[in-house]
Copies of this chain bind each other. A is one copy, B any other.
Amino acid sequence: MIYSSELIKGTLKTIVLKLLADNKRMYGYEITQKVKQLTMDKIQITEGALYPTLHALEADGLVITEAEYIGKRVRKYYSLSKTGKTKTAEKVSELADFMNTMKFLLDIQNQPV
């Protein structure tokens, strides 16, 4: 089962930021694979969604990039800036709060998953 795409909306940025907080330094393709692996294929980030998001994070000064060559192929590593670290904590905390609210709102107690 893959979640309907609308659920990802609004959480992608937070997911990416949190992964960078945990892994110091990651490149785009690695992020898609990591999310896929951690969620047992339930969340699959498309490249068309990820790269624009990464570029936006960079434009906002939340991440910094380093290009690196693996053989002849370029890799673009992303890591959190100081501002990015602060922002990540805020967004994760907000999402946690939001999920508690939603849990209450949807009256979700012990639904089997």
Query: At the interface, yes or no: A94 with Cβ under 8 Å from chain B?
Result: yes
Min Cβ gap A100→B in Å is: 5
Does A11 make an interface contact (CB < 8 A)?
yes
A108 and B94 form a contact (CB under 8 A)? no
A94 to B7 alpha-carbon distance, docked (Å):
9
| A14 beta carbon closer than 8 Å to chain B | yes
Residue A82 CB within 8 A of the other chain: no
Q: Which residue of B lies closest to A11 (CB)?
A: B102
List 23 interface pairs A-B (beta carbons < 8 Å), by A numbering.
Answer: A1-B97, A3-B97, A3-B98, A3-B101, A6-B9, A6-B10, A6-B13, A7-B94, A7-B95, A8-B10, A9-B9, A9-B10, A11-B102, A14-B106, A15-B102, A18-B107, A42-B98, A95-B108, A96-B103, A96-B108, A96-B113, A97-B113, A99-B99
